[in-house]
């Protein structure tokens, strides 16, 4: 287990903008940075990085956290793995306490597939460089392709010899279990999966080996030329791009990604200095792969081999790129050439010039290519027009669609109005289908929540207001303040009761202002926790309850807690909620720009310095909601006693009701006093 000292060093050293910047193209806006969210598809940036608070937050989908959370979510790493990844990035030595047997077993289980793949990569490299067979067959092949030794080692290229179970035996002798080797796709039916092939390790975005592509070198008509690792828990070819780990920084820098088909094309271009290059590895391009590119740049240029017969089928699959709102261009290489061969033929400078000169917009390229074959055949021409119209209809941006309609109407010799009409029909049909799918999903969700037949379960809080209908004091948002993106993101959240949202507001005050002074003798945290000490157990929101309990323990131990204590918390749920509550203050706080223009709030202090009234108001609202809950419960009991005709119980519940209503009125009066002060 990583020591607390090391964890603290990591959090004090890492800069969230550097970590996020390796994956997302960021643009400075004031004191923050913005970019396109890597966690959901968007065309307008709503993803914000705050260097001052060392956090990120997407106000579109709601994702947020610190640098460790970001690495965990984006690279699908555990908390210790993310810490180690960041420690490596910043050259921080990692100190670890001795693990218990249970912890060691759990860690070994979570790391096992990555570990055995790394072992396999090392094994294949040794076969390539240290065996006579590997040198004569594998290494000579790579050198014939023009790969220098440093590039071979950089990409981790290797060789699997012809032995039936060489890797399996070596792995078991090194302590790796056969079951784990099999789960990693390295052995099958007690034999090595890769035999007599040069090996191309496939890395994820953090550089970990998740699988392999093997190319056979012998003449064997029954064996496939290329063989990839089967799908595993860490390798999904539809979500993977070969070379993305080595290309990501160059893609961000160039604001463009080049895509080819083969492993050797990637390596050749990378070696020549064209590093913003990835490969789809022979699979049809998928939405997940496009979104992976879009994390780093909105522009994609696809390089096709000079095979005009095969390119038509490939182009029909590129609508998936348009749907993700990526700007895609196509380059068709000369007949008989692939990127590797053409690069060797003309050199790096001429190759780059060729790409710049020949890169054509995808839709216009597709239109010109398909229209050449229709000649005077009206049937064929109508089919081509339908194909192009389908592609244009998938463009999310209306302005872009309009531009393409204008260009294509001239090519197709058709009126813009007719094309617009056909495109709108397809958009409406697509929207209707999506609506029907959403409705069916909503019905399934509703049915799943319903109690089984005959159940006497009754939820007295069903139908409580949504978060949009809640109005929080000083810093929380109201219905009118929300952006449409935020509304959409909240619609996907698990429904919470009004009490839970009020609990979150109490925690918001604690995290943002708990260490500030309420008066000369009391901090905000002391005031909140001591005033509601008897109601702490009433918290429904589990994460809020954890934060409250932990804050109370620290307070009793006279330990000072700052905002970063929770935004950097080792519990991912606590850290994410803390970041969310800190980010909301920034999203709905008082803009510094108004101060520079000498415009200030007249009725109250800005939220950042209004924490006293904020804290008092939050506690009152919390108590108010809990009293409302008690009133509802008491009304149910009163109703039951009336139905049971129990006069004694009715009298008790009526008295309780009057008392609760009196308390509620008193709280309401106090809230008005705080707000008006």
Give pLDDT, residue 447.
62
The CA radius of gyration of the chain, in Å to the nearest whole number, is 31
Cα separations (Å) of 558 from 137, 437, 470?
Answer: 69, 55, 35
Average pLDDT over residues 173-199: 90
Give pLDDT, residue 412.
80
Output 270 or 613, whichever has higher pLDDT.
270
Residue 529 has which token pair?
A: 């926790």
Give pLDDT, residue 157.
96
DSSP string computed for 33-54: EEE--SSS--SS--EEEETTTT
Q: Is the pLDDT confidence value at 6 over 80? A: yes
Output 190 or 644, whichever has higher pLDDT.
190
Alpha-carbon distance of 504 to 622, in angstroms, equals: 9
Which domains occur in the chain, in start order? 4-89 (3.90.580.10), 109-235 (3.90.980.10), 238-358 (3.40.1360.10), 368-430 (no CATH), 474-676 (no CATH)
Band the pLDDT of 536: cuts 50, 70, 90.
low
Q: Which residues pair with 29 in a beta bridge?
A: 32
Residue 550 has which token pair?
A: 């932990």
Give pLDDT, residue 440.
76
Q: Is the pLDDT confidence value at 675 over 60? A: no
CB burial of 412-430 (b: ≥16 within 10 Å; e: otherwise) equals: bebeeeebbebbeebbeee
Give pLDDT, residue 410.
81
Give pLDDT, residue 480.
33
Give the helix ranges, DSSP H, for 287-412.
Answer: 287-294, 308-316, 319-323, 339-346, 348-358, 362-371, 378-393, 398-412
Residue 118's Cβ-count burial label (10 Å; 0-12, 13-18, 19+) is: middle
Q: Is the pLDDT confidence value at 494 over 70? A: no
Of the ranges 95-99, 506-510, 588-592, the best mean pLDDT one: 506-510
Q: Is the pLDDT confidence value at 165 over 80? A: yes
Q: Which of 53-57, 195-199, 552-556 has the lowest mean pLDDT?
A: 552-556
Give pLDDT, residue 228.
92
Q: Is the pLDDT confidence value at 186 over 60? A: yes
pLDDT in tens, 453-474: 444 433 333 333 333 333 332 3
Residue 378's Cβ-count burial label (10 Å; 0-12, 13-18, 19+) is: exposed
Q: Which of 151-165, 329-343, 556-570 has the lowest mean pLDDT?
A: 556-570
Give pLDDT, residue 534.
62
Alpha-carbon distance of 10 to 15, in angstroms, equals: 10
Residue 445 has which token pair?
A: 């969700």
Band the pLDDT of 349: cuts 50, 70, 90.
very high
Q: Which residues pair with 302 in a beta bridge?
A: 259, 330
As a whole-number percent, the residues of the chain with pLDDT over 90 amount to 19
Q: Is the pLDDT confidence value at 310 over 70? A: no
Q: Which of 90-99, 114-123, 242-251, 356-365 has the lowest mean pLDDT?
A: 90-99
Nearest to 17 by CA among 55, 44, 47, 45: 55
For residues 476 and 508, the answer to whether their CB atoms sit within 8 Å is yes
Output 449 or 141, whichever has higher pLDDT.
141
Give pLDDT, residue 120.
94
Give pLDDT, residue 497.
60
Alpha-carbon distance of 231 to 113, in angstroms, equals: 12
Average pLDDT over residues 339-350: 92
Q: How far apart are the first and last CA of the chain?
A: 51
Under DSSP, the state recorded for 343 is H
Question: What SS3 class is residue 621?
Answer: helix
Q: Is the pLDDT confidence value at 507 over 60? A: yes
Average pLDDT over residues 422-427: 83
Give me the half-sphere count of Cα atoms (radius 13 Å) on the Cβ side of residue 128. 24
Alpha-carbon distance of 452 to 221, in angstroms, equals: 59
Give me the half-sphere count of Cα atoms (radius 13 Å) on the Cβ side of residue 514. 28
Average pLDDT over residues 377-394: 83
Q: Is the pLDDT confidence value at 356 over 70? A: yes
Give pLDDT, residue 127.
94
Band the pLDDT of 673: cuts 50, 70, 90.
low
Nearest to 268 by CA among 246, 286, 252, 253: 246
For residues 47 and 56, the answer to whether their CB atoms sit within 8 Å is yes
Output 157 or 322, whichever has higher pLDDT.
157
Q: Is the pLDDT confidence value at 479 over 60? A: no
Average pLDDT over residues 261-282: 91
Output 201 or 298, whichever has higher pLDDT.
201
For residues 376 and 413, the answer to whether their CB atoms sit within 8 Å is no
As a whole-number percent, the residues of the chain with pLDDT over 70 amount to 79
Band the pLDDT of 380: cuts 50, 70, 90.
confident
Q: Is the pLDDT confidence value at 272 over 60? A: yes
Give pLDDT, residue 587.
56
Average pLDDT over residues 412-438: 80
pLDDT in tens, 147-156: 999 999 999 9
* Mean pLDDT taken over the chain: 78
Band the pLDDT of 599: cuts 50, 70, 90.
very low
Give pLDDT, residue 477.
32
Sequence-separated (6 or more) residues with CB below 8 Å from residue 216? 196, 197, 223, 224, 225, 226, 227
Sequence-separated (6 or more) residues with CB below 8 Å from residue 600? 594, 606
Output 519 or 391, whichever has higher pLDDT.
391
Give pLDDT, residue 496.
56
Considering all CA atoms of the chain, what is the largest pairwise distance in Å, rounded to the nearest integer?
99
């Amino acid at each position: 287990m990583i020591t607390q000292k090391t964890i603290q060093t990591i959090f004090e050293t890492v800069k969230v903008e550097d970590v996020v910047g390796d994956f997302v193209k960021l643009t400075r806006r004031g004191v923050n940075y913005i970019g396109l969210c890597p966690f959901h598809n968007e065309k307008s940036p709503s993803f914000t990085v705050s260097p001052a608070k060392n956090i990120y937050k997407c106000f579109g989908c709601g994702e947020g956290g610190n640098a460790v959370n970001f690495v965990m979510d984006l690279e699908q790493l555990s908390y210790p793995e993310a810490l180690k990844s960041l420690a490596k990035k910043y050259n921080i030595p990692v100190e670890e306490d001795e693990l218990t047997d249970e912890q060691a077993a759990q860690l070994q289980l979570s790391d096992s597939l990555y570990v055995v793949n790394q072992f396999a990569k090392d094994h294949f490299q040794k076969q390539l460089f240290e065996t006579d067979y590997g040198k004569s067959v594998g290494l000579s092949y790579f050198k014939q392709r023009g790969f220098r030794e440093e590039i071979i080692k950089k990409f981790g290229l290797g060789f699997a010899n012809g032995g039936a179970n060489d890797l399996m035996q070596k792995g078991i002798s090194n302590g790796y279990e056969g079951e784990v080797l099999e789960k990693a796709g390295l052995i099958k039916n007690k034999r090595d999966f890769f035999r007599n092939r040069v090996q191309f390790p496939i890395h994820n975005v953090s550089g970990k080996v998740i699988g392999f592509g093997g190319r056979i070198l012998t003449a064997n008509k029954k064996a496939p030329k290329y063989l990839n690792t089967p799908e595993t828990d860490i390798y999904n070819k539809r979500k993977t791009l070969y070379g993305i780990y080595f290309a990501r920084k160059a893609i961000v820098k160039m604001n463009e990604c080049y895509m080819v088909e083969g492993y050797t094309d990637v390596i050749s271009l990378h070696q020549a200095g064209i590093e913003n290059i990835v490969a789809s590895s022979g699979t049809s391009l998928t939405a997940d792969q496009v979104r992976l590119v879009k994390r780093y740049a909105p522009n994609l240029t696809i390089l096709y081999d000079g095979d005009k017969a095969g390119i038509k089928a490939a182009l029909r699959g590129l609508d998936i790129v348009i749907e993700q709102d990526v700007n895609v261009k196509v380059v068709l290489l000369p007949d008989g050439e692939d990127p590797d061969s053409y690069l060797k033929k003309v050199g790096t400078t001429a190759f780059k010039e060729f790409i710049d000169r020949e890169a054509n917009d995808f839709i216009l390229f597709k239109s010109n290519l398909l229209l050449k074959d229709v000649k005077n055949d009206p049937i064929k021409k109508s089919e081509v027009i339908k194909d192009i119209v389908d592609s244009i209809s998938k463009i999310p941006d209306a302005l872009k669609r309009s531009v393409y309609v204008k260009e294509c109407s001239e090519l197709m010799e058709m009126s813009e109005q007719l094309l617009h009409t056909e495109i709108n029909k397809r958009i409406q049909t697509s929207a209707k289908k999506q609506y029907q799918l959403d409705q069916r999903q909503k019905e399934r969700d509703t049915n799943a929540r319903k109690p089984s037949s005959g159940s006497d379960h009754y939820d007295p809080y069903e139908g409580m207001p949504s978060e949009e209908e809640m109005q929080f004091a000083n810093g929380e948002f109201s219905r009118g303040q929300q952006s449409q993106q935020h509304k959409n993101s909240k619609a996907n959240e698990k429904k919470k009761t009004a009490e839970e949202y009020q609990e979150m507001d109490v925690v918001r005050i604690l995290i943002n202002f708990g260490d500030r002074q309420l008066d000369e003798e009391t901090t905000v945290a002391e005031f909140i926790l001591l005033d509601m000490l008897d109601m702490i157990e009433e918290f429904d929101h589990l994460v809020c309850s954890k934060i409250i309990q932990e804050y109370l323990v620290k307070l009793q131990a006279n330990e000072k807690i700052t905002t970063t204590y929770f935004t950097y918390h080792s519990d991912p749920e606590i850290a994410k909620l803390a970041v969310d509550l800190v980010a909301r203050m920034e999203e709905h706080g008082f803009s510094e720009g108004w101060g520079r223009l000498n415009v200030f709030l007249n009725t109250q202090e800005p939220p950042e310095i209004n924490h006293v009234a904020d804290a008092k108001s939050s506690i009152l609202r919390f108590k108010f909601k809990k009293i409302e809950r008690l009133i509802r419960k008491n009304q149910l009991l009163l109703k039951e006693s009336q139905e049971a005709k129990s006069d004694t119980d009715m009298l008790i519940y009526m008295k309780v009701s009057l008392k609760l209503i009196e308390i509620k009125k008193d709280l309401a009066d106090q809230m008005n006093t705080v707000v008006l002060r």
